[in-house]
């Protein structure tokens, strides 16, 4: 009887131990499974960061240039080309108008050998000499060859109002005469004995063929 009681107690204790152990094991396993896997979490985080850092190639390709760059390019492309007048100095239209005005005021004065004044008359270079000196060009020389070296040389197409125009003599080697260009193909000059200061059309074949050079003073 005593042995049976001991056996029952032993079985009971073992059973209780098994139950307790089972409960503990079950509890420990559930807790561990509820914890997130650190390696898995790090891997996911790395992918997320990598995705946010990389640019979408389609988005980048479709991005238009900045407004400021586009506006600047349009502004530069719309600028007109720089204007040039064929000379190395700026064109002074006011000074040119004064020269032409003085020359026009002398129309009708007779040609005179060695003349360089309205009272006496003008020869060809004397007319240029007087007009320029009246407009402040006090260093203007007296002869045609020297006058043809006063400023910047111009071609026929580059002549502007107020410029000097010089033409070859019949030998086509020396300067024969000159005058003051007024624009629209007209020059003011006192050409030869028996003539007066007058307007001369230099668009004719003769004057085009005999053109030597223009001189810019303004």
In a domain, 209, yes or no: yes
In a domain, 126, yes or no: yes
Q: Where are the alpha helices (DSSP H) in the chain?
A: 2-34, 38-53, 57-61, 67-78, 93-104, 124-134, 144-147, 205-210
- From the list 158, 200, 160, the residue with the least C-alpha distance to 177 is 200
pLDDT tens, position by position, 76-120: 333 333 333 444 456 678 999 999 999 999 999 999 999 999 999
In a domain, 9, yes or no: no
| pLDDT for 37 beyond 80 | no
Cα gap 198→189, rounded to integer Å: 6
In a domain, 122, yes or no: yes
Mean pLDDT of the chain: 76
pLDDT band at 59 (very low <50, low <70, confident <90, very high): very low
Q: Is 58 or 141 the better-scoring residue by pLDDT? A: 141
* CATH code for the domain in which residue 210 is found: 3.90.1720.10
Q: What's the number of domains the chain is made of?
A: 1
**86 DSSP 8-state letter:** S
Domain with 103 in it: 93-216
pLDDT tens, position by position, 133-165: 999 999 999 999 999 999 999 999 999 999 999
In a domain, 132, yes or no: yes
pLDDT band at 218 (very low <50, low <70, confident <90, very high): confident
* Alpha-carbon separation of residue 45 from 32, 40, 51, 98, 144 (angstroms): 22, 9, 10, 85, 93
The pLDDT assigned to 179 comes to: 98
Cα gap 52→198, rounded to integer Å: 86
In a domain, 66, yes or no: no
The pLDDT assigned to 80 comes to: 32
Q: Which of 18-32, 102-116, 122-136 has the lowest mean pLDDT?
A: 18-32
In a domain, 111, yes or no: yes
In a domain, 11, yes or no: no
């Amino acid at each position: 009887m005593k042995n049976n009681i001991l056996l029952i107690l032993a079985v009971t204790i073992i059973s209780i131990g098994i139950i307790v152990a089972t409960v503990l094991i079950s509890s420990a396993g559930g807790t561990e499974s509820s914890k997130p896997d650190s390696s898995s979490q790090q891997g996911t985080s790395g992918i997320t960061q990598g995705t946010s850092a990389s640019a979408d190639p389609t988005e980048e390709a479709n991005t238009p240039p900045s407004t400021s760059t586009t506006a600047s390019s349009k502004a530069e492309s719309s600028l007109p080309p720089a204007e040039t007048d064929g000379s190395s100095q700026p064109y002074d239209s006011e000074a040119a108008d004064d020269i032409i005005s003085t020359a026009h005021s002398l129309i009708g004065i007779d040609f005179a050998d060695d003349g360089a004044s309205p009272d006496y008359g003008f020869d060809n270079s004397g007319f240029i000499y007087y007009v320029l000196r009246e407009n402040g060009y006090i260093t203007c020389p007296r002869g045609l060859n020297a006058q043809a070296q006063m400023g910047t040389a111009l071609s026929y197409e580059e002549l502007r109002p107020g410029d000097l125009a010089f033409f070859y003599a019949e030998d086509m080697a020396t300067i024969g005469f000159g005058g003051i260009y007024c624009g629209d193909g007209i020059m003011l000059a006192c050409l030869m004995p028996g003539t007066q200061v007058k307007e001369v059309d230099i668009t004719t074949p003769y004057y085009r063929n005999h053109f030597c050079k223009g001189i810019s003073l303004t």
